[in-house]
Amino acid sequence: METIQIVLDSELRVAADKAARRSRMNRSQLVREALREYLRGLELKAREDLDREGYAKKPQAHGEWQAWESEAAWPEQ
């Protein structure tokens, strides 16, 4: 791991410290986990944007999905 320096305003630092205590981790662990979660969100958004772009370029044909309708249904209990 590498050590970096970040600047937080007082209010954010206090909130981060409280959240870290509640989560039973230190501030660095909290920041690492928050950054990982943020990066996962960016990746998910990028994939969703690609899907949206693909469907915009080639929309589904009318009734194309109907063959799969029964596969998506929950079984009767």
Residue carrying the six token digits 């249904």 = 73
- The answer to whether position 69 is within a domain reads no
Q: Which two tokens stand for residue 68?
A: 């799969």
Whether 4 shows a pLDDT value over 80: the answer reads yes
- The answer to whether position 14 is within a domain reads yes
What is the pLDDT, as a whole number, of residue 69? Answer: 78
* Structure-model confidence comparison of residues 63 and 4, the more confident one: 4
Whether 65 shows a pLDDT value over 90: the answer reads no
Range of the domain at 46: 10-56
- The answer to whether position 23 is within a domain reads yes
- The answer to whether position 65 is within a domain reads no
Q: Which of 58, 59, 38 is nearest to 46 (CA)?
A: 38
Amino acid at 64: E
- The answer to whether position 25 is within a domain reads yes
- The total of structural domains in the chain comes to 1
Give me the chain's average pLDDT, please.
91
- The answer to whether position 76 is within a domain reads no
What is the pLDDT, as a whole number, of residue 33? Answer: 97
Say if residues 16 and 6 touch (Cβ distance below 8 Å).
Answer: no
For the residues 32-51, what does the mean pLDDT come to?
97
Q: Which two tokens stand for residue 1?
A: 């791991």
Backbone phi and psi for residue 67, each to the nearest 5 degrees, phi listed first: -65, -25
